Amino acid sequence: MSEAAAHEAIKKTIESNDVVLFMKGTAQFPQCGFSAQVAQILLHLGVPFQDVNVLEDQDLREGIKTYTNWPTIPQLYVKGEFIGGADIVREMFQAGELHTLIHDKGIPHSNHG
Amino acid sequence: MPMDPREIESLIKAKFPDATVEIQDLAGDGDHFAARVVTSAFKGKSRVQQHQMVYDALGGRMGGVLHALALTTQSPPD
């Protein structure tokens, strides 16, 4: 897969899923502490999300960094918009901003607390 | 490969001369750092943009030689 093809695949994924987490490993079996943390936050909020394991595809792993102009993984997308990496997601979660964002974007979630 | 925290600080300060930079070596292994960066250059920028500006200042080291840098960014109070 070329970089252009990887970018096309990424675009398709974030356009067809409300919440996408590009991560190392899967939501069930994260393979990096930062990825695990963000998956945990989404699970806590009860937000359904599509996990994409970048370790399964080297082109995707590099492609997501250039697509977003963001050098690290995990990367969280909501409604096609890049929200942030682990630091930003944690900061937003602690400030209650992530819940507000999910709510404002009209994404169903089970934890309203 | 470990990175000297003073190098991280000087790279950031080279890009943002007015910046306050605090760096912590989280694990004492020269590989896991936390940085807090405060500069007026962040005014009016989103968190994502602020982090991208710091990554730019680090010139591609982030995600490479610099494996883990927990980043907190802020613009100074008026």
Q: What is the DSSP letter of B60?
A: T
Q: Which residues of A touch B (CB under 8 A)?
A: 34, 65, 69-72, 82-88, 91-92
Closest Cβ opposite residue B48 in set A65, A82, A86? A82
Domain boundaries along the sequence of chain B: 5-74
Predicted TM-score (pTM) of the model is: 0.90
Contact residues, B window 2-31, toward A, CB-based 8 Å cutoff = none
Q: Which residues of A touch B52 (CB under 8 A)?
A: 69-70
Q: What percent of chain A has pLDDT over 70?
A: 98
Mean pLDDT, rounded, for B18-45:
90
* B46-71 residues labelled b (16+ CB within 10 A) or e (exposed): ebbebbbbbbebbeebbbeebbbbbb
Tens digits of residue pLDDT in B32-56: 899 999 999 999 999 999 999 999 9
Domains of chain A: 3-104 (3.40.30.10)
Fold annotation for B5-74: GMP Synthetase; Chain A, domain 3 (3.30.300)
